[in-house]
Amino acid sequence: MVDIFEEVDEELRRDKYQDLLRQWGPWVLGGAVAIILGTVAWQGFDAWQTSKRETASDAFIAAMNDVEAGRLGLAAAGLETVAAEGTPGYVSLALMQRGNLALEQGDNAAAARFFDQAAAQASDPLLRDMAEIRSVWASWDSLSFSDIDLRLSVLIGGDSPFRHLARETIAAAALRADEIERARTQYQFLSFASDAPSGVQRRAQEALALIAQRNALAGEPVDASAAEEAPAIAPETATETEETTDAGDSGDD
């Protein structure tokens, strides 16, 4: 008798399970399929992204090889392709290199446009700040002191590796605009900044000496502290990135 009841109970449970399966089975199956398809789609997208990065990397390297070989037309075409089709990081790098090529060819306006585009595209702060400074340099003749001050002041207030180059650029723009006191203040800061690249410190010292000489010729009082203390610079005290130091020294000419 007990066996009969157990069999009946088992049948009831099986029937209930079948009913539940008929009711919820399509949804459960659909959810499982969605999970599987989502996993496959993600793996496919990840593989596509990896492939796209590798393609952009190969194209960028090929373009840089063309630059080194002097095939500037091919290099520009290759960089244009990377900028149009590459992954975000390579897009910014390609735009930076296109700006560099434009500068070498004497087209400062085009160079500034490429640098501006690189700054807008860059997710890396280092690359963005570099592009911003190079854009200002490329547009130097057409920008006022106020323009340069507005664009670069944000860099000198933080910890950007290019903060000293930004401050030097502001100081040079102030000197060009006869904003002598503003220029002197910025150059004095740089001359005493222990973490500024040595090239930046040296140029700041030279600028302060020039300002003092200019004031003397004009019959204005010379700031003795600036004239005497500025040369006291510890050599090679820069703790900036190598790229920043190189960029600072490249302006010695």
Residue 11 structure tokens: 């049948």
> What CA–CA distances, in Å, run from 136 to 31, 61, 148, 153?
55, 27, 7, 12
pLDDT band of 236, cuts 50, 70, 90: very low
- pLDDT at position 220 is 59
Q: Is the pLDDT of residue 66 over 90?
A: no
| Helix residue ranges, H only, the chain | 2-68, 72-85, 88-104, 108-121, 125-138, 145-156, 163-176, 180-192, 198-217, 224-229, 242-249
- pLDDT at position 250 is 41
- pLDDT at position 34 is 41
> What CA–CA distances, in Å, run from 68 to 61, 75, 83, 244?
11, 9, 19, 22
pLDDT band of 214, cuts 50, 70, 90: confident
More confident residue, 132 or 215: 132
Share of the chain above pLDDT 70, in %: 65
Among 14-18, 55-59, 114-118, name the one with the lowest average pLDDT. 14-18
Residue tagged 């992204």 (tokens)? 49
pLDDT band of 221, cuts 50, 70, 90: low
- pLDDT at position 89 is 84
What CATH architecture does domain 26-141 belong to?
Answer: Alpha Horseshoe (1.25)
- pLDDT at position 180 is 94
pLDDT band of 148, cuts 50, 70, 90: very high
- pLDDT at position 72 is 85
Residue 35 structure tokens: 């999970």
Mean pLDDT of all residues in 103-123: 94
More confident residue, 104 or 55: 104
- pLDDT at position 65 is 86
Among 17-26, 124-133, 207-216, name the one with the lowest average pLDDT. 17-26
Mean pLDDT of all residues in 212-224: 70
> What CA–CA distances, in Å, run from 251 to 153, 165, 183, 202, 247?
20, 10, 18, 11, 7
Exposure on the CB side of residue 28, measured as CA atoms within 13 A? 6
Closest by alpha carbon to 165, among 129, 194, 119? Answer: 129
* pTM of the full structure: 0.65
Q: 235: Cβ–Cβ under 8 A, 6 or more apart, which residues?
A: 198
- pLDDT at position 24 is 47
Among 52-61, 106-115, 197-206, name the one with the lowest average pLDDT. 52-61
